[in-house]
Amino acid sequence: MRAITGDSSVNILKEQFIPDHVFIYVAKGGFRVFDGNKSYTFKAGDACFARKNRLAKYELLDSIDGFEPIIFCFDELFLQKFLKKDQFEQTHFLSKDAFIHIQESTLVESFIQSIKPYYKGVMQIDELFEEVKYEELLLILLKIQPELAGILFDFRKPGKIDLEEFMNRNFKFNVSISRFAYLTGRSLSAFKRDFKTIFDDTPSHWLMQMRLREAYLLLNKKNQKPSDFYLDLGFESLSHFSTSFKKMYGHAPTKNLGKNTHSYII
């Protein structure tokens, strides 16, 4: 359980795996997010709810005011404790969206104003008030959109899903093999075994091949530079991408400038 405000929240938005349910209020600026299926855009004054055990890539929108989100992370222990004290009907939530827009409400706006006196630096709310404010926010969300109970109080682990479809859709996300295994409802050993059966390859080698093939397409068909897309393809650095590309294709990443002409652009 943590409330995050200020510059430190930008680091949170760099993470590609959402381990806990997250409430995000955009005080300034805005961001765009992609979950492997769908893109969402949130601007100043918007609030959203990010579901746990999902993948996401974030992009900050240009803004003269900068970017200032207020983020509340709801971990499972807190939610279980809350549910024991305040019983809510666990309705079935129909949407599969990873990010859910929170309806505009004076309750949310008033809550955002109410936490400002309790800021403790830029990282969290004063510990004396933290749990109270978390409970207040949770009650507000459930009052505005009662169907959120179907998400918040669902403590099941991810179930076994179609591994081939999931990996072909999410290979660009920079998360560990063990994380992919968890998200597909498998132990690490079962994931590797099923992966070998389906793709006749190891997960690490297959992921690298898929990302580099996509890179080749972007370089030679869409005329993009490596610096424009290496992070989007799951590479941790430009040098990591360049080395991997050269190992697979025998030359550094290139960009077509014309028929049979290449210019090396790293």
Q: Where are the domains positioned within the chain?
A: 2-152, 163-264
In this predicted structure, what is the pLDDT of residue 222?
Answer: 78
CA distances from 139 to 76, 120, 184, 187, 235 (A): 16, 23, 32, 35, 40
In this predicted structure, what is the pLDDT of residue 4?
Answer: 57
Give the pLDDT of the chain (266 residues) as one tens digit per residue.
555 555 545 555 666 899 999 999 999 999 999 998 899 999 999 999 999 999 999 989 988 988 889 999 999 999 999 998 877 666 777 788 999 999 999 999 999 999 988 876 544 677 888 889 999 999 999 999 999 999 999 998 999 999 999 999 999 999 999 999 999 999 999 999 999 999 999 999 999 999 999 999 888 877 888 888 888 888 888 888 888 998 888 888 865 433 443 433 33
Report the C-alpha gap between 86 and 100 in whole angstroms: 23
Report the C-alpha gap between 225 and 263 in whole angstroms: 11
Q: Are 138 and 107 in contact (CB under 8 A)?
A: no
**Strand pairing report for 30-34 and 39-43:** antiparallel
Q: Are 190 and 203 in contact (CB under 8 A)?
A: no
Task: Provide the CB-side half-sphere exposure for 79 (13 A, CA).
Answer: 22
Identical fold between 2-152 and 163-264? no
Report the C-alpha gap between 183 and 48 in whole angstroms: 22
In this predicted structure, what is the pLDDT of residue 3?
Answer: 58
Exposure pattern of 17-53 as b/e (b: 16+ CB <10 Å)? bbebbbbbbbbebbbebbbeeeebebebebbbbbbbb
In this predicted structure, what is the pLDDT of residue 34?
Answer: 92
- Three-class DSSP category at 21: strand
In this predicted structure, what is the pLDDT of residue 142?
Answer: 94
pTM of the predicted protein model: 0.83
Residue the block writes with tokens 């409400």: 105
Looking at 1.10.10.60, 3.30.470.20, 1.20.1050.10, 1.10.1740.10, the CATH number of the domain 163-264 comes to 1.10.10.60
CATH code reported for the domain at 2-152: 2.60.120.280
In this predicted structure, what is the pLDDT of residue 164?
Answer: 96
In this predicted structure, what is the pLDDT of residue 65?
Answer: 87
